A and B are shown apart, each in its own frame.
Chain A
Amino acid sequence: MSLSGALNKVKNANDKSKKELLDYLQKNGYKGDPSKQVDDLLEFFTIAPVSIDPAGLVRKIEHLLSVRDERVREEVKRLLPNKDVITTSVVENLLDTSSALNYYYKVLRHYYLLGKKTSNIYLLMQLQMILPEVLKEIEALLASIEPVSNVQPLGDGIGAMVAAKLMLNNEKKTIARDTVFAEVSYKNRDIYAMKAEGPAGNVGAVGNAVERLINDYGLKPSLIVMIDAALKLEGEPSGEISEGVGAAIGGIGVDKFKIEEVSSKTGTPLYAIIIKETLAEAITAMTKDIIDAAAKVQARLDNLLEDRTKEGDTVIIVGVGNTLGVGQ
């Protein structure tokens, strides 16, 4: 396929995602044409803070992201003022998808037109070379629209699902924005399990939540375990699990920084269990291979608790990921 043909397909993907978003808004009660408001939200940008003096950079990034998230949430509430949190979270997720596709389209178009305008064959060759990988990502984004609109669990939600299972039948308390935890007695340990509040499509603020449990609640955990989906390498099977150390969480790095900071300051061992999957599996409906991995994660978690902690110890377990379609 020619570059112009591929670019046309990306434009179609971009148009389709926007149309799906507009249709979703109208289906959920928006009267009139929301195109103008949606276009404004798709073009809404965030300027990364200056990094030449990196001290305090994470705090600045967190502040900017918080302002952006609040603004987007307010705009969505303005579009659908009487809708429940699940519906508005779906709109936020669809907006994220449309923004990503919009950005892909504009950047690809930019390099294509620039390459042609300046007769720069090297620029066009580079574009051609990265195209298969980029198109796979675009295809995955497009495929995520249907499960998100239907509030179906995504592959990325597997970590949240494992934590939710521990939290079942225990009182849930809000600890940070869109984030809940439950105190659970499990294997004679005091477990503080947390996840984003479902079944809405949230990722929560688990960095703040872990920080608060230790700094404000005065917990002295013997272990912090993070459970998250992770991108697999080609050749690795989907749903395979691995254990390691460190903060298993994606995003721009604010939550990761906070958890690393609090665990290193208190000397708490930080462990991670990851469930391997492709990008397409992470952002589309959960597959059988991935959901079956929940039992394997639970068994690995049991071993970790028995090997690394003793009875009476306190442990924080963080289920990371988008909790769309996963309750607790």
Chain B
Amino acid sequence: MANLLFKGQDKKPFRIVTVEGCSSCGLKMKRPFQFGDFIFKEGSKCQKCGSKTMMDAIYKEELIKK
């Protein structure tokens, strides 16, 4: 019980990812989160059509699949 704390039994390795979405062609580009990213911030240029993208999502992604 109390030994759950800080033992790391429940902790799975994860990373934070940012998803940039292109409203023109619908392409989604996932990359590691960078400091300064926030949801609905303007992103980089779309790798497919060159339009501006928007950061659609930032979330925790577990590195080991369930």
Query: Hey, which bits of chain A sit against chain B, CB under 8 A?
Result: 1, 5-6, 9, 12-13, 131-132, 135-136, 138-139, 147, 150-153, 161, 164-165, 168, 198-199, 284-288, 290-291, 325-328
Contact = CB atoms under 8 A, between A and B. Distances in A.
A327 B39 CA distance: 6
B1 interface: yes
A288 B61 contact: yes
Contacts of A138: 5
A12 B3 CA distance: 14
22 contacts: A1-B1, A1-B2, A6-B5, A131-B1, A131-B2, A132-B4, A135-B2, A138-B5, A153-B38, A164-B40, A165-B40, A198-B39, A284-B60, A285-B59, A286-B60, A288-B60, A290-B59, A291-B59, A325-B38, A325-B58, A326-B38, A326-B40
A132 B2 contact: yes
Interface string B21-60: 0000000000001011111110000000000000001111
Contacts of B3: 1
Nearest to B2: A1
Given A164-B40, A285-B16, A325-B58, A5 B35 contact: no
Interface of B: 1-6, 16, 33, 35-41, 57-61
Given A135-B2, A286-B59, 18 more contacts: A1-B1, A6-B2, A13-B6, A132-B1, A132-B2, A132-B4, A136-B4, A139-B6, A150-B16, A153-B39, A165-B40, A198-B38, A198-B39, A284-B60, A291-B57, A291-B58, A325-B38, A326-B38
Contacts of B4: 132, 135-136, 139
Given A1-B1, A1-B2, A139-B4, A286 B58 contact: yes
A84 to B, nearest CB: 12
A284 B60 CA distance: 9
